A and B are shown apart, each in its own frame.
Chain A
């Protein structure tokens, strides 16, 4: 985990140097009205005149304290700009996660227990669409139907509970479909196990066979994938946040890239990467809890 975080810090630091002189990059057209002396002062003030290694170590030490410098556009700490967006991203991610699990898992179970039926075909068609339709297209279609034609739901922004519905559904579409398909194949696999046959032989009702015996065993691989989705939902909502004007971290990152606000980009990228790594670690630990046969040395 430490190695990954260190590599992310290198990548984040290197962002400024990808297109050459970082002073040039940060000043942009403002440099046109500055004298060479003013430009050099800016370079010194930012420490860009120091050797790379020294600059990187300085970046690392400050980043560890959450100090990525001041945002060039907001004129306040870059980390603060990102951090104030976290609640919105977590809120949207939580709804999408709940939808993807709450609808995806039952859909997969129903589909598995009615294998080959119209219900199974319909559910799997929905899952296929959910995984193949791009989120920007789905988002616009939902906006047109529920916002413009039916006037049922708000189109954009953050406010009431209703504001969560369209972006939540859009963001949930892909993981929901994946959960449904994974649950279906996992349940189908365990339904052929001997303990399921035994349960049936004991006269356990079909509902009990599916939900008490089959599903609990089928869920272990599903839980692993679901855990990893958390990282995706926190970091992968850039498009959805942009379409629905949701004031989250993803949108802040896009705006910061557009504004060349590199301190904010560095803060955002580092925070998302660390979150992703932390979630992965958590899932690994949780997996051992769920399946006691797994032990970490």
Chain B
């Protein structure tokens, strides 16, 4: 009897093992996988899941990279980020608040619905309704769009009216959250289905969406410009080393975010190459002007820029995969005359002396009236390339001219909370990256006094006068001229420590012809296999 009771343990163990193996067997699908990709399929490995294919529900980059293949916009950015015609063949300004777009005639959505002015009107007003009802993820885009009315004048003419004068409306028409959607299908389909099986007018259509695992797109045979690559397979692979392993094993065609120190690992492989592009994400050290009095003094801010040895950092930390900068405007609006601050410790020291911050030889920290030149320095980790390491380098450089910093590194989820409400949670200085505005004025909002993205509460009178001027200037050449002058002012005022435009580094298989773009979008419309 006792023997029988003791045997229960063994018997339970055997049953459990058999049961669990059966459970695993049942759960394992029989197909799919990550073997070498098919000849006609480009495999793109991104760092995060594609959550939705409905453009009005997402601004996330992994989602956007699939969406841009399925949807087209009235205007679009070319490979050099110049604004080009898209579904609209032309556009013109009727008055300060109204833009008129002429659509390409005869276009249709993938389900056969006509792509006309009525469809554009339906889509933009749907976006406006989302904005007003706080649906989807359109708050940022539609706040900037400032949409008032949309009129369909005839089948190919649509007029977009903003609440205030808005020279940037044609730029916003290149954003996927203004991409036309077929009215009948969109209004009759549930949100859930729209997110997984949307219908656009782009050259690809979705054929498989397995949440958290993969999205497969295939060329739409009726598109006027059918791409050469027949299928696109998007997979999420969050770990950098795993993505590189997939590429070097021949299982992937494009991988994102290759860390600079792992570039040699890709380059050693004959079947893969590294492609880099100077991105549009501005990485800066914000200098809050409402906390430490020293940061209100232009000479101190300039001294911090002179004290930072950006080029050495670029060489030693970032594998020379980028360039130091002295502006926060993106291409093609960068003022070519504005260069990065030179590394000049003597000049930095002289400026700090001139500003009244004298070195205390006992502590090696500068002081003024008994107050030390010491800043709280907040840094994220893992959000930007080598973000925490860049902070450490800058802290070390600043220490050499007697500026002490207390560096604190935060996980991004905590750091981003600090950045809210115009950086209310930040201490004196902080590292942050800012995405592109796709136009000079939108880029320079980073340091404009009323802008939400101005987390340092910078207020530069010379800059603000130019800003006001630009806001009522619609002429492209005049805007460019004002833009250049604003960059001169920013360089001189040094409201930030300029670092770099983060370089985007991709691993690409040798069989695929593809070039990266500065806007971080992975477009394969014109790619082909060798």
Contact = CB atoms under 8 A, between A and B. Distances in A.
A285 B416 CA distance: 45
Contacts, number: 194
B34 interface: yes
Given A90-B27, A245-B235, A289-B8, A160 B32 contact: yes
Contact of B6 (A33, A144, A216): A216
B28 A164 contact: yes
A73 B35 CA distance: 30
B212 A155 contact: no
A interface secondary structure, majority? helix
Interface string A118-161: 00000000000000000000001001100110010011111111
Interface in A45-103: 45, 73-76, 84-85, 87-88, 90-91, 94-95, 97-98, 101-102
B9 A290 contact: yes
Nearest to B18: A98
Chain B binding surface, main DSSP class: helix
B406 interface: no
Interface stretch (A6-14, A201-209, A247-255, A268-276): A247-255
Nearest to B235: A157
B65 interface: no
Interface string B383-401: 0000000000000000000
B453 interface: yes
A235 to B, nearest CB: 17
Given A157-B213, A161-B28, A244-B242, A219 B33 contact: no
B96 interface: no
A37 interface: no
B5 interface: yes
Contacts of A173: none
Size range of the chain B interface in the assembly: 35 or more
A245 B242 contact: yes
B17 A155 contact: no
A247 B212 contact: yes
Interface string B125-145: 000000000101101100110
Interface in B1-53: 5-10, 12-13, 16-17, 20-21, 23-25, 27-35, 48-49, 51-52
B293 interface: no
B356 interface: no
Interface of A: 19-20, 24-25, 27-34, 41-42, 45, 73-76, 84-85, 87-88, 90-91, 94-95, 97-98, 101-102, 105, 140, 143-144, 147-148, 151, 154-164, 215-217, 219-220, 223, 226, 242-245, 247, 251-252, 254-255, 257-260, 286, 289-292
Given A28-B417, A140-B241, A251-B238, 15 more contacts: A28-B416, A28-B419, A28-B420, A84-B211, A94-B20, A140-B242, A147-B246, A155-B34, A157-B237, A160-B32, A219-B9, A251-B212, A257-B411, A259-B413, A260-B413
Give me the 4 closest cross-chain CB pairs, A-B, nearest first: A32-B452, A159-B32, A159-B33, A247-B212
